[in-house]
Structure 1
Amino acid sequence: MLKITFLGTAGSLPTPYRNPSSILIKKDSELVMFDCGEGTQQQMMRARTGMMSLSSIFITHFHADHVLGIPGLLQTMSFQGRTEPLYIYGPEWVDEFIRILATLGYCRLGFDIETVQLEPGDIVEKNGYSVKSLKTEHGVDSIGYAFVENKRPGKFNRQKAVSFGVPPGPLFSRLQQGNPIEVDGRTVLPEEVMGDPRPGRTIVYSGDTRPCDDVLNASKGADVLIHDGSLDNKQYDWAIESMHSTASEAANLAKKSGVIKLVLTHISSRYTEDVSPLLNNAQKIFNNVIIADDLMEINVPYKNKVK
């Protein structure tokens, strides 16, 4: 399973319908969070995602709408009896940010917090996936992220295995797990019966940014690009001044990268009643685009299952 839950999709200010930024990825039984705006823990409750299997929080930058949910989330998990360590990654000042919370008494918890400062290009290796930090362009030090699953084994050629004298059963499994086997005095190698490795899935999250090369390059062939789409074309000058992106700019980047799906988020409060200007701008350039809503979920299929 690879599922994205949009816990917060608002721009700089929350609205009655949108919480500040937070995105949750569920890979199998593990939860990985990107940004944690205020109210994130309540959104997790509403979405019924659970909290205790949250392994990491990746912060894009330290504007308030991206981090103010962290203290409450930490305390809630502690009250619920969490003992497993939590990893918090982010750009410069991530160590200082958590140290300040501890000084204020917010982090007297029943579990450890491990902070890791990232520079653009750093790769965090996890179990079955990695997260790469991307250089982005915002008004403060900021990074985006590419969540990249490890490659999957190639398809097992059952007919070929049988032709080598391999009986169906446990020996099939050993070959599929990458182990050579012996059959009638002959060694059968996994590569003789397995196809080429197949790519895992990739999700790119831009955070707040102007369109930039690192996000473009990370999105090439990706499954989902979650991009800052704060403003419509009429607000182009303000997008430049505030270091955000228009929906059209995000769509242009998606088109250039060849990403499968574009999701616009960080929606300005200007569009509280009507997001159609954003969607219309983007769809003129890139067809497979949607605007994220709070608590929206997306299941990400493997590419070979995409019609």
Structure 2
Amino acid sequence: MSVRELVVLGTSSAVPTPRRNHNGYFLRFDTHGILLDPGEGTQLQMRRAGVTAHDLTRILITHFHGDHCLGLPGVIQRIARDRACQPIHAAYPADGAAYWHRLRNATAFDDTTDIREQPLTGESADLGGDPGITVQARALAHRIPCYGYRIAEPDGWSLRPEALARHGITGPAAGELKRRGEVTTPAGERVALHQCAVRRPGQAVAFVLDTAPCAAAEELARDADLLVIEATYLHAHHHLAAAYGHLTAAQAGAIATRAGAHHLVLTHFSERYDTDDDSRFAAEAATAFGGPVTVATDLCRVALPARRR
């Protein structure tokens, strides 16, 4: 049975706290295991969450501020130590290639050749290497080069039983119709897939971390089933958000609304906030977004919403 869920490994911004580890997100999407922004302590958080090196198929780095990448040495060394032989594509801003190589070679260990680097340049990129899904990157508005990511499956089809019955299509013929796009019935009628099915939107997850409000954030989040987005500050500190290229919870909610996202996951919180502030983040986001809001906590799991039909 396929599993589609977000495992949150860390939710703090620049400074980890006793309650919040540095950033870290693992998206399990069927056979794909995507690790995004492994901050300091990610290897331990993976163990606590039951995520192994063998689960990883891709690493995505938004940018090279420490809270988004200081866990890379431990994760890469774990991949090599555990002999996780599957190819692992790793995307990161090309402008930060020097940081990538320093982190990858931070200590003495037997490196692995199974990590396939994909340095990103320009405003957007479509990343290959993942059968059954697409991975897109878009440049965000931060103080240093930073990318957001969108993971999506192609749209599919849902067969309509009444239409199949009307055309006399039963049993294996229905599967052939879905697979090939058309079928010839025993009566000699040629039936196309669109005559017996409706489009089913593929599921999509967007990651928007470390950015000021920008069009690219909304493009990534467009109609996303799950939008994982930074909410570093509450509105009371909106001047800090503007100064440092971050979002408030209300701004995150507004992006979700304009993009038509379906479930909002807030994360990347300043160390100035504590447990009592969680409800304030949810409330501020809800002033701009009417859908479900999750204020992420370390090691929480968020299942993708049910498929839309």
Does the pair score TM above 0.5? Answer: yes
Match of 2:141 in 1: 137
Q: Against the structure 1 CA distance between its residues 94 and 151, is the aligned structure 2 distance closer, same or farther, given a 3 Å change threshold? A: farther
Alignment of 1:84-163 (within 5 A): 84-93=86-95, 95-101=97-103, 103-105=105-107, 108-119=110-121, 120-125=123-128, 126-152=130-156, 154-163=157-166
Alignment of 1:186-201 (within 5 A): 186=188, 188-191=190-193, 193-201=195-203
In 1, the alpha carbon distance for the partners of 2:173 and 2:109 equals 51
Q: Against the structure 1 CA distance between its residues 64 and 190, is the aligned structure 2 distance closer, same or farther, given a 3 Å change threshold? A: same
Task: Give the paired residue count.
Answer: 303
Match for 2:240 among 238, 241, 246? 238
In 2, the alpha carbon distance for the partners of 1:33 and 1:210 equals 23
Range moving further from structure 2, 80-89 or 56-65: 80-89
In 2, the alpha carbon distance for the partners of 1:124 and 1:66 equals 20
Match of 1:83 in 2: 85
> Residue type matched to 1:135 in 2?
A
Contact 1:55 1:87 in 2 (8 A): yes
By how many angstroms is 1:235 displaced? 0.9
Contact 2:37 2:61 in 1 (8 A): yes
By how many angstroms is 1:46 displaced? 0.9
Match of 1:253, SS state, is helix
Contact 2:160 2:198 in 1 (8 A): no
* Deviation readout 1:36-85 (Å, 9 max, x if unpaired): 11111211111113320211111000011111111111111222222222
In 2, the alpha carbon distance for the partners of 1:246 and 1:134 equals 20
By how many angstroms is 1:176 displaced? 1.9
Match of 1:46 in 2: 48
Match for 1:33 among 32, 35, 46? 35
Alignment of 1:163-174 (within 5 A): 163-166=166-169, 168-174=170-176
Match for 1:299 among 274, 296, 303? 303
Range moving further from structure 2, 33-42 or 249-258: 249-258
Q: Structure 1 residue 223 and structure 2 residue 225: aligned?
A: yes
> Residue type matched to 2:137 in 1?
S
Match of 1:271, SS state, is coil
In 2, the alpha carbon distance for the partners of 1:114 and 1:123 equals 15
By how many angstroms is 1:229 displaced? 0.4
Structure 2: unaligned runs, 5 residues or longer: none
Range moving further from structure 2, 154-163 or 86-95: 154-163
> Residue type matched to 2:47 in 1?
M
Match of 2:76, SS state, is helix
In 2, the alpha carbon distance for the partners of 1:132 and 1:115 equals 15
Range moving further from structure 2, 204-213 or 294-303: 294-303
Give aligned-pair identity as a percent.
Answer: 27
Q: Structure 1 residue 257 and structure 2 residue 259: aligned?
A: yes
In 2, the alpha carbon distance for the partners of 1:286 and 1:102 equals 39
> Residue type matched to 2:303 in 1?
N
Contact 1:71 1:106 in 2 (8 A): no
In 1, the alpha carbon distance for the partners of 2:5 and 2:103 equals 30
Q: CA RMSD in A?
A: 2.2
> Residue type matched to 1:176 in 2?
K
Structure 1: unaligned runs, 5 residues or longer: none
By how many angstroms is 1:187 displaced? 5.2
By how many angstroms is 1:114 displaced? 1.1
Range moving further from structure 2, 272-281 or 236-245: 272-281
